[in-house]
Chains A and B, each alone.
Chain A
Amino acid sequence: MLEKLSKSRLIFVTGKGGVGKSIISASLGMAFHNVGHRPLLVEFFPDKRLEHIFKLNAEIYRETEIKKDFNYINISSSEALAEYIRRQLILDTISKFVLNTKFYRYLSSTAPGLKELVAIGKLYDLEKKRDNDGNYLYDPIIVDAPQLGKFIPFIKTPQTIMNMFKIGPVKKEAEKVNSLICSNKSAVVIVSTGDKMAISETIEAKKELFSIKYPVVRLIIINMAISEKISTLDNKYYEQRLNDILTNNNIKDELMPAIEKLINYVTLEKTAINELVTNTDNVPILILPLIKNTDNELLITEELSHYFTA
C-alpha cells in the first residue's frame, strides 16, 4: 500500500478521535523507513502522543532522531509565529519590541488562524530542506494532523487567510503554503475503526475533502479490525466443531454465547466496511487487524508497519 503514497511529500493523517491516528502515523513512518526512505514524523504541540510512543525526550520545535534517517518534530505554533516574526522583521529593535509586548500575544487572538498558518508554514520549510547531495532531507513528511471536524478548517487556513489579507507578506506566506497543500505533493490518509459511527464519519469527511479537491485522499485505513481473520460467519459451523472436540456440553453452552457475540460484531464490521467500499469511489482501503499479545505501543506500531509493505 505504500506505493499509493510514494509520490506524496506531505502526508496528513487524520480521523475521528480515538481511532489510533497517532499509532498509524508512527507505523506509516516506520514502514517508509523500513523500505529505505527518510521520513519525518510531525505532531503539533501540546500533543505528545508520538513522543510517548517512541519514548523520545524531544525539544520542542527541533528535529529529533528516532533512528538514523528517521526523525521527529513537535511543532509549536507560538514558536513558529516567533520564528516567522523574527525572519520578517529584519529590524532587530522592532522585532524585539513586537516579541516582547502584548502585541505578539495578541496577534494570535486577534488574527485567529495566523498561528495555524505559520505552523503549516513550518511544514513548507521542512519540505524544502535538502541534504548536501541535493536530495530531499525528509521523504516523506508524515503529519499527525487534527482530528476530523477540525481537519478541514485547519487545512483550509491558508486559503481563508488569503481571502482576508489582500496584500502584503502574510498573504504571500499564505499563498506559498497553499500552493503546497493544493498540489499532488500533499495527501490525506483517513484512519477509521470498523464501527458504523466511525465509518459514517469517514464517508462524510471523504465527501467533504473531495469537494475541496485538495489535498487528495490517497488511502483509508480501518484500524483494529477483527473481521479479516474470521472466514465463516455461520454460528452452526462453530457449534458443530465444538461438538466434535468437546465431551462436556456445559463448556459448549458457555462458549457459544461468546462466539455468537463475536460473529455479530464481525457481521456489523463487515457491513460497515462494505458501506465504506461502495461510498468512497476508488480510494484504496487498507484493513489493519487488532494487534493482540501486547499492550506496548511501540511493538504495536512495529507490527502494524509491516502491513503497509506486505
Chain B
Amino acid sequence: MKNQPEVIVCVGTGGVGKTTISSAIGIASALKGNKTLVMTIDPAKRLAQAMGIKELTNTPTPVPIKAFKNCLPNSNINLDAMILETKTTFNNLIKRYSSSPQKAEAILNNSYYQYVSGELTGSEDYMAMEKLYEIKKEYDYDLIVVDTPPARHAINFLTAPNRMIQLISSGVLKWLIRPSKNIGLIGLNIINKAPQKIIKLLKSYVGLEIVEELIEFFSEFDELYSGFRTRAKEVDALLSSKKVQFYMVTAPTQEAIEEAIYFYSIMKDYKINFAGFIVNKIHKTFYDDIQRTKVNKIVETLGKDDSLRAVLEETLALDKIALHDIELIQYLKTKIKSRQIKYYLTFLIMDEELMNLCSLVKLSKSLEGII
C-alpha cells in the first residue's frame, strides 16, 4: 500500500494505556504479515510480561509466539519487542561520536555526564527517538511501533529533540568555559571578565571540583557536538517524514480528553504526521435505554438494605460511566474539526488475564485499521 506507515509513534499522558495499545498495534501489524518491532520505555516491564518474554533488553528480542498459538489465527508471525534503556543509548552515542576510545572514556567517567545521563535526565524522550533512528537504520522492519515515556503533558515529547540540542549546544556554560579549553582554569581570569565573575560564583556555589568537571565535560563534548547535532537533525527529519505516523492515546476522562484537545491544538506547530486519536479504556454500557428505565423502576421498589438493590445500583453506576464515556468521545470529536483525523476506540480490558498476549490479540482487533 502507498501510505503504509513504517513507524507509528504513540504519545499520550500517563495512565491511558499507551504500552498496552502500542503492543496491540504491533500484534495487529504482525498478524497482517509485517515484520514488526514494538519499542517500549515502560520501566514496569509489563510489556515483557504481557508478551511472555522474561526480560526485555536494549536490543530487539523475538516474542515467543508459540506459547500463545491458541489465540492466534496463525503462529507464523514475525514480532519482536525491546525496552529502551536511556543510559545505554546515551553511552553508545558518546562512543560513536568520540574521536578515540580514550576520549569516550573520559566523558563516560565524568561525574557531570553521569549526573545528566542518569536518572535525573530529561533526555529520555530524545533517547527514545535516537534509538528509533538507529534501529530504523540497522534493521529491516516493515513497521516499528514506539511507546513514548509517560508524561503529564504529551507535548513534552515533541519538544525533546530541540531541548536536547539546546542542552548540548551554544549554552552560556559553554560560552563561559570555552576560553579555558586549552589553558586550564587559570586562563579564564585573564580572558573574559564576565565569565570570571560567574565562574567564581559557581565555584563558591557548587565547589571547585564540579566546576572542573563541568569544564572538562563541555570541552570534551565540544568535538562530539557537530556529530550530535547532525544526528539530532536526522532524527528530526525522520520524525517529520510521511513514513512516520503519530497517534495520541487518550482515555475517556475529562482530564485526558482536555489534554488530547490541547495536544492537537499545538501539534500543528510541529512538522509531524498526526494520524489520529486512540481512545482507550472505554467502559461498556450495561443497558440500553429501555432496560435502563426498567432497572431504575425495579430499584425504587427495593428496600435500602437489599443486596439486590446494591448490585443493581452498581450496575447503573457503571452504566452511567459508560454513557459519560460516549459523551466525552463526542465532545472530543466536536472539538477536532479536521476530517483527516481518525478515531479508534478500544474498551477497558476487565479480564484477570490482562497481562498476556491473548488479551492483547483481542484488543488488536479494534486497531486493525491503523495498519
Q: Tell yes or no: B33 within 8 A of A by CB.
A: no
List A contacts of B173 (CB < 8 A): 103, 106, 110
Whole-angstrom distance between the Cβ of A263 and the nearest chain B Cβ: 7
Residues of B within 8 A of A110 (CB): 116, 167, 171, 173, 214
- The reply to whether B44 and A262 contact each other, CB–CB distance below 8 Å, is no
Q: Which residues of B contact A157 (CB under 8 A)?
A: 120
Q: Which residues on A sit within 8 Å (CB–CB) of B354?
A: 196-197
Name B312-327 residues within 8 Å CB distance of A.
312-320, 324
Contact B255 A49 (CB under 8 A): yes
Task: Give the distance in Å from the alpha carbon of A55 to the alpha carbon of B148 in the complex.
Answer: 32
Q: Which residues of B contact A160 (CB under 8 A)?
A: 115, 118-120
With an 8 Å Cβ cutoff, the count of chain A residues facing the other chain is 68
The answer to whether A290 touches B317 (Cβ under 8 A) is: yes
The answer to whether A168 and B206 touch (CB under 8 A), given A153-B119, A259-B311, is yes
CB pair A231 B14 closer than 8 Å: no
Q: How large is the interface on B (under 10, 10 to 19, 20 to 34, 35 or more residues)?
A: 35 or more
**In-complex Cβ contact of B15 among A18, A168, A171, A251 (8 A):** A18
Q: Which of B77-85, B197-205, B330-338 contacts A (4 or more CB under 8 A)?
A: B197-205
The yes or no answer to B308 lying at the interface (CB within 8 A) is yes
A299: interface (CB < 8 Å) = no
Q: A19-B15, A109-B167, A110-B167 are in contact. Are A238 and B308 (CB under 8 A)?
A: yes
B206/A170 in contact, CB under 8 A: yes
> Which one of A17, A113, A242, A261 lies within 8 Å of B16 (CB-CB)?
A17
Does A35 sit within 8 A of B, measured CB to CB? no
User: Do residues B153 and A46 form an inter-chain contact, with CB atoms below 8 A?
Assistant: yes
User: B318 to A226, Cβ gap below 8 A?
Assistant: yes
A47 lies within 8 A of B315 (CB): no
Q: Given A109-B167, A164-B115, A231-B307, does the pair A18, B172 have CB atoms closer than 8 Å? A: no
Give me 20 A-to-B residue pairs in the complex whose CB atoms sit less than 8 angstroms apart, sorted by A's number: A18-B255, A18-B256, A19-B15, A47-B152, A88-B205, A98-B198, A109-B163, A110-B167, A147-B15, A153-B119, A160-B115, A168-B204, A226-B314, A230-B310, A245-B298, A254-B287, A258-B295, A259-B312, A265-B350, A266-B314
Closest 3 CB pairs of A and B: A17-B15, A17-B14, A18-B15
**Residues of A that sit less than 8 Å from B by CB:** 16-19, 46-47, 49, 88-89, 94, 98, 101-103, 106, 109-110, 112-113, 146-147, 149-150, 153, 156-157, 160, 164-171, 195-197, 200-201, 204, 226, 229-232, 237-238, 241-242, 245-246, 251, 254-255, 258-259, 261-266, 268, 271, 290, 292, 295
Given contacts A147-B14, A255-B295, 5 further A-B contacts (CB under 8 A): A160-B119, A160-B120, A166-B207, A168-B204, A254-B294
